[in-house]
Structure formats: structure tokens, C-alpha cells
Amino acid sequence: MSIILDHVNYIYGEDGPLAVKALDDVCLQIPDGQFVGIIGHTGSGKSTLVQHMNGLLKATGGHIYFNGEDIYDRDFPMKKLRSRVGLVFQYPEHQLFEVDVFSDVCFGPKNLGMDKKEAELKAFDALRKVGMPMELYYQSPFELSGGQKRRAAIAGVLAMAPEILILDEPTAGLDPKGREEILRQIKELQVQTGMTILLVSHSMEDVAEYVDRIVVMNKGRVMYDGAPKEVFAHYRELEEVGLAAPQVTYILHALKDRGFDVDVNATTTGEAVETVLHALGRIPEAFRP
Amino acid sequence: MGIIRTKDLVYEYVRRDEEGNVEGFTTAVDKVDLDVQPGEFIAILGHNGSGKSTLAKHINAILNPTEGSVWVDGMDTSEEEHIWDIRQRAGMVFQNPDNQIIGQVVEEDVGFGPENMGVTTKEIWERVEESLKAVGMYEYRRHSPNKLSGGQKQRVSIAGVLAMHPKCIVLDEPTAMLDPKGRREVIRAVRALNEVEGITVVLITHYMEETIHADRVFVMDSGKIAMEGTPRQIFSQVERLQELRLDVPQVTLLAHELRRKGVGLPEGILTVEELADALAGSR
């Protein structure tokens, strides 16, 4: 399912004296099955942007198309859009409420009007996809660890069988291992199901490691849009708008300044190891047996 | 005796079922001995549920030990009559900036603490000014806190604690909800308090990079102190940290991986400059 945003504008309090332009002429084309990272500092418009994609906010100007259909068309089934685009909010575990994990995950599909059996099948499938251990299915969601709670909340959205999954800061407040586990699971989900995934994040290291494409938002506009390498090449400009490139970018630039022949475009630790070894390979005495 | 000291500190949460009957106990902090010297910068790391926040809440008597004792500036936190003195000596900053700001205007918010302590009006204004200057927020003194960014709000929260003239400040994941710029601003402000004002800092965080300037790092696991040492000593143990569900700064990890591939580098490299210099030196 593809999304096209065509010159989308959004102004908070449009008619009031305190009107704020939160989205400014945003044009984006997201093809089927892509894993897109959306980064930007607080207040850059990234959350506003994703809330447009399932119709929670309505653009004050421009058009949004799902598979070629204009979602602002009077005949467009807006309610259906919400089940086709799953949105996982920040700190989604605050929205857990049922007596056990399984019932909580069943709530979404039941709410969409699925019968009990179908909802349970969907819930089971979703819990399996997020890697929730089976013995926790009938535990109270409030007794899970931080990472497990978040998995339960993501499963709740997945159970509605969305075609697009949007996650707003899914790793905020988790420990490093928890962050890695959640992101790896999301990546696996994308690879296995071919689902389109949008990941809103502050963490450049995380984004660089997993996504196909990065969209950088600044002051409501799309500042950069491209593969991680292309975007992080602008690391100085990113810093000026309150962001940063992954730490490896800085290391590689520092090495380049000291005369090493490294590829400064490497964005993950693995790639950096390769290029540094390669650069060192030309100076064999740097190696110890 | 240090400014913060714990001895055999144990804290147990009572678990209850739906009817409120006791089901059992969870030991969140398990026999922790801590001795923090005045002026030290301490960082506490640990995975979610390792007990670090529970430990922190003992330092300004939000929680009282189940067993063992906690002393702040020589005062036992379990003695009711010291509670206000302790909270003034050891200020606390929490994760969510929106839960901590009460004033309509920045300077009013910062003045709340000293006003509550009965400080004279003239001195309140002096304290507000110096605190806001210390965290670099003086030019925003007339602003509404609602309009500030996350990093700016956290710095106002820190100024609010500072205005109470504490001897130490405990920060429980102050940067968890901030973007990279906000994180940098807050950490810079915290380091300035420690280095310039000499305030003892206890920083709890999930971001490894934020701890590299600490004097000592403690790593918690299952309520116990699992590791203790300088940042360099701690981050030299990449595999051990990964076992404890943590990691190391990306630069340390890169150096570690290169070392494993046979490049002659020391363990525990903490900054970009260090790594670049070490590699340049090795050729």
C-alpha cells in the first residue's frame, strides 16, 4: 500500500492569533514495503506528520493518497483507514488496560467488528510476531517488564492487521538491550510480511542500523530525504538543527582528517570496522599478530 | 563519611493480588553499600527493572529502607524529623519535564522551592537569578514553561532544585524523553553544576555516552551493584555489559571490534578523538 503526500500543509489554530504552521508543503512518496525512519528534533513536525497518515489530523491544505485514492474524498472510508494504518503512540504501554495480555491484544480487532474467534487468531498471530513468550499471554500486562509491555502494545496494533505500521519513538525509555530487541523484531516483521513501516525516532544510531530510507523533518518541512548514507553526509547541517549523525560518522571524519583513507559514508559499526580495517590494510605495521 | 552513604540497603515491594492480599515480596534493592564523596559525579547504569530508580528514591527519602540505612549529609533518612532537611540537601530531577514544572512563568517556577523553605523575598530573587544563569536559562526567565523545548524544561527543573541550594542532585533519566540537542544541553548543564559549583551529582541514565565524564560508574543488576569503577574500567568490559542488557558508546564498541580483529588499541576508548589519535599513533 503506497502513500503519497502532495503539498500537505497543517496549521494549528488556523483562524486564531496563535496560528502555528506545523507542516509546510510536505511532499512524500512512500512505496509499498519500505522501512522509513522519520527523524527531527522535538517540535519539528514529525508526530504531526504521522498523525495525518491515519486521518487523526486533517491537512489544512494539500492531498494525501492511499493507493491512489484521495483520503479527503467524501466517499473515502476514513474509519477503514484507521484499521489499515496502525499507529503505535509514544509510551504505548500507558494504554494497556485489560486483565491479561491476550485480552488486551484482542481488544483492537474486536473493536473493528471481528468475531471472537477471528480476533483471537489475529491476537495470537500478532503476539507471535512481536516475539512475546507464550507463558506471558495470560499474565497481567502491568506485571511485564518495560520491553515486554511495549511488545504487548505493539501487538495490540498489529492484531488489527494494518497494511502500514507507524511507530512513534518505540524505544524511548528502554534499556539498550530492550531497544535492540524491539528494533530487531520490527525489522524482522518488515522483512517477513513486507509491511510498510514508518519509524519516528530521535536515535540516529538506531535509525541508521535498520531503515531503508530517512526523512529528516525541520520546522515542518522535509529537510532531507534519502538513504541513511546520503542523509548523514549532511552531518554538519543536521547538527545545526539539533540532530546528530551516528557516532561512527564523527569517528570516520576524524580519521579522514588525520589522513586515513576511510569511507566516511559508513553509518553502522559493522561498516565502520570494514572501512577502518581496509584503510589500515595499506599500512601493514599497524597490525599486531 | 561521604555525603550519600548506604549500608546494607534492602528495599522490598509487597506484591498484592486483585483483592489486596499479599502474594509475596520483590526485592528491588538488595544489600547495596554506597559511599559518595562530596563533589563526586556518579553515574548509575542498569537495565529496566534493575533497581536504579528505587535506589535513587532512597536518597531523598521518597522511599525508606526495608532493611539497612541511608545517610544524607550525615542524617539518617528514616528519621522523620530530618526529612525536609534531607530533601533540601539532596534535590531530585525526574524523567518527564512536564510533570515537574508548576509555575506559569519560568522564574516563578524556580522560585517555588526557596519560597516554600521560607527564604526571604530578596534572597529568593537572587537565588532564581543565579540558578537560571547556572543552567543557561536566564534569558528565558519571563517565558512560559509551556513554550520551551524538552531540554529547556529539564534545565528549568534543574534550576528549581538548584535554587534550594542542595549539596547534591539526583537525576533519574533526565534525558530519556529528549532529542539529541536537548540531551546535550542537559548534560552540559549537569556537568557545569558539578565542576563549577561543586555539587555532588548522581546521574541515572540509559545513554552510555552520558556517563563518560563521571568519576565513578555503578552498574546495577537484580537490585545489586554488579560493577563499579571509572568509566574506562567499566566500558573496557564490553561483553560483561552486554550480558547485563547494556552496551557501550558506539566509539568504544568500534574500538573493541577493531581490537578483536587484531588492531593494536587499548580497551576502554571513550571518545572520538581518543580513537582517532590512537589509530593515528599506531601507524
In chain A, the N- to C-terminal Cα span, in Å, equals 53
Rounded to the nearest angstrom, the minimum Cα separation between B132 and chain A is 22
Residues of A with CB under 8 A from a CB of B: 40-43, 145-147, 172-178, 180, 202, 204-205, 242-244, 246-248, 250-251, 254-255, 257-260, 269, 272-273, 276-277, 280, 283, 285-289
Which three three-digit cell numbers place residue B125?
Answer: 530573587
State the pLDDT at residue A82.
84
Give me the domains of chain A, ranges plus CATH numbers.
Answer: 3-245 (3.40.50.300), 246-289 (no CATH)
Classify A200 as helix, strand or coil.
strand
Rounded to the nearest angstrom, the minimum Cα separation between B15 and chain A is 10
Summarize pLDDT for B190-209 with one digit per residue, the tens: 999 999 989 999 999 999 99
ipTM of the assembly? 0.78
- Which residues contact residue B272 at a Cβ distance below 8 angstroms, ignoring those fewer than 6 apart? A247, A250, A251, A254, B251
Q: What is the average pLDDT across B24-46?
A: 93
| DSSP of B178-193 | --HHHHHHHHHHHHHH
A243/B180 touch (CB, cutoff 8 Å), yes or no: yes
State the pLDDT at residue B191.
94
A41/B182 touch (CB, cutoff 8 Å), yes or no: yes
Reply yes or no on whether the pLDDT at B182 is more than 50: yes
Q: What angle do CA B131, B132, B135 make, to 5 degrees?
A: 90
Of A147, A202, A257, Cβ closest to residue B180: A202
Rounded to the nearest angstrom, the minimum Cα separation between B81 and chain A is 35
State the pLDDT at residue B18.
67
Chain B residues near residue A242 by CB distance under 8 angstroms: 179-182
Distance, in Å, from the CA atom of A45 to the CA atom of A222, rounded to the nearest integer, reads: 9
Torsion angle of the four alpha carbons B157, B159, B161, B165, in this order, in degrees rounded to the nearest 10:
180
Task: Identify the CA nearest to A202 among candidates B149, B234, B45, B159.
Answer: B149
Give residue for cell 559499526. A269
State the pLDDT at residue A286.
46
State the pLDDT at residue A1.
63
A288/B264 touch (CB, cutoff 8 Å), yes or no: yes
Residues of chain A with pLDDT under 50: 282-289
Report CA-CA distances (Å) from B249 to A34, B51, B275: 29, 22, 12
What residues does each domain of chain B span? Answer: 4-231
Distance, in Å, from the CA atom of B96 to the CA atom of B141, rounded to the nearest integer, reads: 20
Contact A2, A30 (CB under 8 A): yes
Ramachandran region of residue B49, left (φ > 0), alpha (ψ -120 to 50) or beta? left
Distance, in Å, from the CA atom of A250 to the CA atom of A35, rounded to the nearest integer, reads: 25
Give the H/E segment covering residue A19.
none
A242/B181 touch (CB, cutoff 8 Å), yes or no: yes
Summarize pLDDT for B102-139 with one digit per residue, the tens: 888 999 999 999 998 899 999 999 999 999 998 989 99
Of B47, B209, B257, Cβ closest to residue A273: B257
Chain B residues near residue A256 by CB distance under 8 angstroms: none
Q: Are strands B41-46 and B67-72 parallel, antiparallel or unpaired?
A: unpaired
CA quadruple B167, B173, B175, B177: dihedral sign: negative
Which residues are registered as beta bridge partners of B251?
Answer: none
Q: What angle do CA B81, B60, B188 make, to 5 degrees?
A: 145
Classify A255 as helix, strand or coil.
helix
B47/A175 touch (CB, cutoff 8 Å), yes or no: yes
A68 class by beta-carbon count within 10 Å (0-12 exposed, 13-18 middle, 19+ buried): exposed
Q: What one-letter code names the amino acid at B187?
A: I
Describe chain A by its helix, strand, coil percentages, rounded to 5: 45, 20, 35
The architecture (CATH level 2) of B4-231 comes to 3-Layer(aba) Sandwich (3.40)
A185-193, long-range: CB < 8 A, 24+ apart: A185/A129, A185/A130, A185/A131, A185/A151, A186/A154, A186/A210, A187/A35, A189/A129, A189/A130, A189/A158, A189/A165, A190/A33, A190/A35, A192/A129, A193/A129
Chain B residues near residue A268 by CB distance under 8 angstroms: none
Summarize pLDDT for B156-181 with one digit per residue, the tens: 999 999 999 999 999 999 998 888 88
Rounded to the nearest angstrom, the minimum Cα separation between A154 and chain B is 18
